[in-house]
């Protein structure tokens, strides 16, 4: 992967000046490269990784990881079915897998009932969907390489002599 992209992927807030300094490049060249990556669709968007546990109570949601078994279409394989599935607003991520299940979905809703309704009324009723296995996300410890917990203060008393 390009070194500029690696730095941006690690920290999207890094400035072109910091990138240029780190990689010993010209700032103008870095800005030009970033603009080209954005224009070509290599960089899709910039976003923050949030620790949901530290956010206010009103913003919580329920996430589920759903394994989906499907029958591929003769001419389109898995692609057309995956496209129909990932168009649902509830679906945040969709991946093709090897193994027992074909697709892995990350689904989000305001509560467990909304996610369950999505699975039972929208996903499971699709013609090519042959089965699902739903796992509700209870707690995140690490996401995309970022540890999501703040270090605990040491509660032990200091030993004195």
124-136 pLDDT tens trace: 999 999 999 999 9
Q: Over range 114-120, report the average pLDDT.
A: 97
Q: Which structure tokens are listed for 29?
A: 């060249």
The pLDDT of residue 91 is above 80: yes
Q: pLDDT-derived band of residue 149, with 50, 70 and 90 as boundaries? A: confident
- pLDDT of the residue at 29: 95
- pLDDT of the residue at 146: 79
User: pLDDT above 90 covers what percent of the chain?
Assistant: 70
Question: Rounded to two decimals, what is the model's pTM?
Answer: 0.75
Q: Which structure tokens are listed for 66?
A: 């759903």
The pLDDT of residue 1 is above 90: no
CB atoms within 10 A of CB 28: 10
- pLDDT of the residue at 142: 86
Q: Over range 149-160, report the average pLDDT.
A: 69
Residue 153 to residues 54, 74, 142, 157, 159, Cα–Cα distance (Å): 16, 58, 19, 11, 16
Q: List the domain boundaries for the chain.
A: 3-39, 55-139
Residue 132's nearest CA partner among 145, 122, 143, 146 is: 122
79 phi and psi, to 5 degrees? -60, -50
Mean pLDDT (the chain) is 90
Class of domain 55-139: alpha beta
The pLDDT of residue 71 is above 60: yes
């Amino acid at each position: 992967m390009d070194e500029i992209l690696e730095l941006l992927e690690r920290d999207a807030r890094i400035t072109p000046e910091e990138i240029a300094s780190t990689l010993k490049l010209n700032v103008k060249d870095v800005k030009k490269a970033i603009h080209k990556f954005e224009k070509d669709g290599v960089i899709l968007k910039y976003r923050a990784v949030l620790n949901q546990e530290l956010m206010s109570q009103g913003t919580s949601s329920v996430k589920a990881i759903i394994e989906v078994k499907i029958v591929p279409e003769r001419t389109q394989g898995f692609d057309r079915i995956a496209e129909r599935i990932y168009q649902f607003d509830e679906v945040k991520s969709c991946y093709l897998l090897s193994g027992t299940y074909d697709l892995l979905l990350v689904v989000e809703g305001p509560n467990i009932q909304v996610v369950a309704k999505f699975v039972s009324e929208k996903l499971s009723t699709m013609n090519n969907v042959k089965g699902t296995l739903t796992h509700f996300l209870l707690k995140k410890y690490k996401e995309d390489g970022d540890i999501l917990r703040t270090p605990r203060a040491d509660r032990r008393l200091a030993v004195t002599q």
